[in-house]
Structure 1
Amino acid sequence: MADLFEMLLGTGMRRGESLGPHSADVHLAERMLLVRWSLTAVNNNHLYLGHPKTKAGRNWVSLAPRVVATLEHQAALTRTGQPKGTPLEGLVFRRPDGSPLRPQGALVELRRRR
């Protein structure tokens, strides 16, 4: 969760937008991230990968060196148990078992740690 919080603080992205990037959206050499997906939970149960809240939200975000280090750390983690053949495959931020983080769970954890 610390990596996710670092990205939230370092980019100013919304919670769902921070949970939506796939590995292909991260361009570490250019220090850029393409925001094209947002992860939301419908009825706090079913995870849905949709477009960002606004059309202007679908854009490139510059990454500070600390955020680049965070994303490099995430890329180095072993990925097991990924949901194969679904839009959730290849998400940058996931649980240790490979399943996606729940947006509400991330918010609860952030509030708990402040």
Structure 2
Amino acid sequence: MSIENSLHSRAEALTSLITQHASGAVANISKSRSMRSTVQERDQIQVVINACQELTALLTEPYEWIANAAWGYVDSVALSLVLCLKVHRHVPKNGGTISLVDLAAKTGSSVVLISEVF
């Protein structure tokens, strides 16, 4: 069996699994009188989540996958830089403003770094 056929078969199997388990999970939740889900319902929902993630991985081009993974770190990097540069100490309170040039000077950073990260 070729890799393309194997991927196609796996994608079909995942689609079927998602359909079955999602339908079952929705049916169970709508029948349930409790606001809390049971272990079985949570397990069924987790199966759907895992299958969706695997299907997404199968259908996503490698360059898109890498770009999505990299974008996932942007907020953490920006927050880390805010803390390292102590930006919060230099931005005026109560809605005041500071120019980009002044902020760069006060943090010892560059205008380019601040403008591209924030």
Give the TM-score taking structure 1 as reference length. 0.20
Larger helix proportion, structure 1 or 2? 2
Give the TM-score taking structure 2 as reference length. 0.20
Rg (Cα) greater in structure = 2
Larger strand proportion, structure 1 or 2? 1
Bigger relative contact order, structure 1 or 2 (CA pairs below 8 A, ≥6 apart): 1
